[in-house]
Amino acid sequence: MEALAQRLSHLDSEAGGALRVVMYFDTLIRRRVDLPALARASAALAECVAGIRLHGTGRVIRVGPDGRPAPTPPAPASTSTPITLDEEEIGTVWLERPTPPGPLDELLLDRLALGAAAVLERYGPASTTMADPALIELVISPGTDDAARTRALRLLGFPADLPLRAIAVRSPRPLDRIGGLICPAHPVKAAPLAEAGVILAPTVDPARFPDGTRAGIGAADRPDRSWQQARTALRFTTDRQPVVHHDDLGALALLAHIPQEALRDNKDVTAIDRLATAGDDLDTLDAYCATGSVRQAADTLHLHHSSVARRLTQIGRTLGIELTEPAGLTRARLALTAWRLRGG
């Protein structure tokens, strides 16, 4: 392999050199080399530092042409190419050539990126898999004893001591696809339950949930407790806030424990019922409660602030609440949240 690399470093024909570069990386992939070996071979071929970075884990491999780890700090990349897998960018490969890029550098990096993607697909973390719902239920059920939960976690492929977050999901998208998006760097298990889909993952990136998805995220605690938190957080989701982390609810989470009959009997909650039948009033109140400002609510609704102010005056009369007062705004927020928790 070293002899081949030496010959390829003195190419006399760009076309012939391109073919040899392709054959070189095809040989590496057939030999099922790992990422460090792939980086070493690339650095030897390019006769400069080659690097691989994985976005999900932050792992960086930099190798010099002598096959040893490259010194730090790194030099600026002379050429770089993204690593893509299943149409998603998962990392980057690059060369640190002190001279201008060579005629075959782009091709070399293209083949290095393809090789890295093949390695990650073969040896990297397993993608999200749909698990046996019975095993998932054993893990998240509060009635499961520790021995049974540990066994279920082991059968799912999770170490018993690995902190897991439970996520309660309602979405038209497949659960395995959502799991792969929110936790691309670690194994994820998912299963549909009667009330919501459940995803178990070591880490969660809330910004990566796809559009049209509602999700409640539990804390990284015992899976059964995390699932209870996730279900509670899911109840607080709205169109404007489709993803809710239980930790962010604070004292608001206490509202989820109020009996349904108490919510039905509360006059502020029943007043929201009347408001829900009055055109855009509910959306106006929601925007105002979310922002706490007439002007910001107007921006959200794409209306003039005077129009929103008139609507809020009428809404306040319907509710019997002075919305411009801090206490009135707090009361309206609680009433609107309780109305949603009741099933409104």
CATH code at position 87: 3.30.450.40
CA distances from 302 to 191, 285, 296 (A): 40, 14, 10
Q: Which residues, at least 6 apart from 191, have a Cβ–Cβ distance to it below 8 Å?
A: 130, 131, 132, 133, 135, 136, 137, 175, 197, 198
Q: What's the whole-number mean pLDDT along residues 115-127?
A: 69
Quick: pLDDT tens for 137-154: 999 999 898 888 888 888
Whether 236 and 295 map to the same domain: the answer is no
Strand pairing partners for 79? 95
pLDDT at 70 over 90: yes
Whether 246 and 262 map to the same domain: the answer is no
Query: End of a domain among 123, 146, 168?
Result: 123
Whether 211 and 278 map to the same domain: the answer is no
The pLDDT score that the predictor gives to residue 4 is: 44
Whether 48 and 108 map to the same domain: the answer is yes
The pLDDT score that the predictor gives to residue 332 is: 86
The pLDDT score that the predictor gives to residue 128 is: 57
Number of folded domains in the chain? 3
Whether 143 and 234 map to the same domain: the answer is yes
Q: How confident is the model at residue 269 (pLDDT cuts 50, 70, 90)?
A: confident
Whether 246 and 271 map to the same domain: the answer is no
The pLDDT score that the predictor gives to residue 2 is: 46
Whether 270 and 203 map to the same domain: the answer is no
Quick: pLDDT tens for 5-59: 444 445 445 556 677 888 888 888 887 788 888 999 999 999 999 999 987 667 8
The pLDDT score that the predictor gives to residue 335 is: 85
Quick: pLDDT tens for 171-222: 998 888 899 889 887 888 999 987 799 999 998 999 999 999 999 999 977 8
Whether 274 and 246 map to the same domain: the answer is no
Please choose, from the candidates 88, 43, 32, the residue with its C-alpha nearest in 3D space to the C-alpha of residue 66.
Answer: 43
Quick: pLDDT tens for 244-264: 999 999 888 888 888 888 888
pLDDT at 74 over 50: yes
Q: Which residues, at least 6 apart from 116, have a Cβ–Cβ distance to it below 8 Å?
A: 35, 38, 52, 83, 91, 93
The pLDDT score that the predictor gives to residue 207 is: 92
Length of the chain, in residues: 344
pLDDT at 1 over 80: no
Quick: pLDDT tens for 85-105: 767 788 899 999 999 988 889
Please report where in the chains the tokens 């993952």 appear, as a residue: 201
Tokens of 115: 């090789």
Q: What's the whole-number mean pLDDT along residues 104-125?
A: 82
Give the range of the structural domain holding residue 36, as residue numbers without chain letter. 2-123
The pLDDT score that the predictor gives to residue 180 is: 86
Whether 238 and 330 map to the same domain: the answer is no
Q: How confident is the model at residue 324 (pLDDT cuts 50, 70, 90)?
A: confident
Whether 20 and 89 map to the same domain: the answer is yes
Whether 244 and 281 map to the same domain: the answer is no
**Cis ω before 73 (30° cut-off from 0):** yes
Whether 249 and 289 map to the same domain: the answer is no
Q: What's the whole-number mean pLDDT along residues 266-288?
A: 81
The whole-model pTM stands at: 0.59
Mean pLDDT of the chain: 85
Q: How confident is the model at residue 322 (pLDDT cuts 50, 70, 90)?
A: confident
Query: End of a domain among 123, 156, 175?
Result: 123
User: What CATH number did the domain enclosing 266 receive?
Assistant: 1.10.10.2840
Query: End of a domain among 210, 236, 253?
Result: 253
